[in-house]
Chains A and B, each alone.
Chain A
Amino acid sequence: MKMRLIIASVLIPLGIIIAAVPENKTKQFRLTAGELLNEVREGTQFISTDQIADMLVQKDPSLQLIDVRTQDEYEKYSLPGSVNVPLSDLLSEEWKDFLDQGVKMNVFYSNGNLKANEAWMLTRQLGFKNNYVLQGGLNYWAETIMNPTAPKSVLADDEIAKYDFRKGASMALGGGSSVVSSSNETKSVKPPIVRKKKKKRVAGGC
């Protein structure tokens, strides 16, 4: 009897408090400005072009590339398998289920970092999970994956391995036309794609 009163005197006031709190505050997950700043400073949202190339080559089904540029730009050039969600349409109801899901890894990209970062910040603030940014955007993608520059021979082995991987990925992903080998070279076989070790996903992005 007494125990019931003790439990009631604790749980009933707590119930009244939770009933009085506005629903949206208990429902939505929001980051404080400080927490967001911390994430931006640490750059946990970035995914490297090499990692994306690796996932594309391996046809990783968990990857979902999202092009946040305008439709015109998207039609001119886009990454394989990507979908176009222009930044101005990001908050439309049509894309909500697409962006707010915990299954696939959404990677935003634009020409550089700017628009993709804006999209990431908006979705992060809305509490959507699994959203990332392609580091450097398409400009850096073209530079590193589509037209990789050969490392100087004195460089370390892993630099050469990285170059080989990029060259292979470039061929596999339909680029690499500008990576023409010198004319005196015999027609070489397709460069092997050197699989990189599977990296752990960026931590702290949940």
Chain B
Amino acid sequence: MGPLIVNEIISPDTNLLIALLIGIGFGFVLESSGFSSSRKLAGMFYGYDTTVLKVFFTAAITAMVGMLFFSLFGWMDLSYIYINPTYLTSAIVGGTIMGVGFIVGGFCPGTAFCALSIGKLDALAFVGGLVLGIIIFTEGYPLWEDMYKADFLGAPTMNEILDIPRGVFALGMILVAFAMFWVGEWAEKKFPREEY
């Protein structure tokens, strides 16, 4: 909600309230899409259920196209968008830990809380592990501080790295997403699993 706070259109408290409402909405959509089922989520990695891929990539390309058009019409200034800075080493290490946890546990952090809210016990175990990981990370921070901050790249975007126009990259991303959807649906037929 960056520009709204900076320009004193809304207060930080209102911002938090809006964030809470958006969070509830997000959780509701996750749950109603079936993302509180660890089997559905893990199905992504085994090929029998690619809902996760389809939902997240559809959301990503819709948001991407929406923002580019808003910028084109002058409704939105893209320079206001906060881009998380890239620390390459920690992104790779963290991504690996997250991926392994995802396959083993069947949740990512967001969906774990979503599943916990409807009383799933496996999610409770997962959230326990998540808290443990947070404690290990924070308490052992001096040990991995150097690794955590290594290879700082600033906040680059993919089209800048590839040196192609933003719109062309967006089109490529859309085509890649649909190719993946097609492969995903092919895999669902190839590796069917009984209804759960």
Which residues of A approach B to under 8 Å, CB–CB?
1, 4, 7-8, 11-12, 14-16, 18-21, 23, 25-27, 29-30, 102, 127, 200-201, 203, 206
A14 to B182, CA, bound (A): 20
- Residues on B with beta carbons closer than 8 Å to the beta carbon of A201: 8
- Residues on B with beta carbons closer than 8 Å to the beta carbon of A12: 171, 174-175, 178
Per-residue contact bits, chain B 29-54, to A (CB 8 Å; 1 contact, 0 not): 00000000000000000000000001
Per-residue contact bits, chain B 156-196, to A (CB 8 Å; 1 contact, 0 not): 00000000011110110111001001100100000000000
B86 contacts partner chain A, Cβ-Cβ < 8 Å: no
Query: In the complex, are the beta carbons of B61 and A11 less than 8 A apart?
Result: yes
Query: In the complex, are the beta carbons of A200 and B8 less than 8 A apart?
Result: yes
A127 to B80, CA, bound (A): 12
Most buried by A among B6, B58, B78, B167: B167
- Residues on B with beta carbons closer than 8 Å to the beta carbon of A1: 185
Given contacts A15-B175, A19-B170, 11 further A-B contacts (CB under 8 A): A11-B65, A12-B178, A18-B68, A18-B170, A19-B165, A21-B167, A25-B72, A27-B166, A29-B77, A206-B3, A206-B7
Chain A residue with Cβ nearest B73: A26
B71 contacts partner chain A, Cβ-Cβ < 8 Å: yes
A203 to B54, CA, bound (A): 42
Interface contacts (Cβ under 8 Å), in number, total: 69
A49 to B78, CA, bound (A): 33
- Residues on B with beta carbons closer than 8 Å to the beta carbon of A102: 79
A-B contact pairs, 25 of them (CB 8 A): A4-B54, A4-B182, A4-B185, A11-B178, A12-B171, A15-B65, A15-B167, A15-B173, A15-B174, A18-B65, A18-B68, A18-B69, A19-B167, A19-B168, A19-B171, A20-B167, A23-B165, A23-B167, A26-B71, A27-B78, A29-B79, A30-B74, A102-B79, A203-B8, A206-B3
What is the CB-to-nearest-CB distance from B173 to chain A, in angstroms, rounded to a whole number? 8
What is the CB-to-nearest-CB distance from B172 to chain A, in angstroms, rounded to a whole number? 8
- Residues on B with beta carbons closer than 8 Å to the beta carbon of A127: 77
- Residues on A with beta carbons closer than 8 Å to the beta carbon of B58: 7
Query: In the complex, are the beta carbons of A4 and B178 less than 8 A apart?
Result: yes
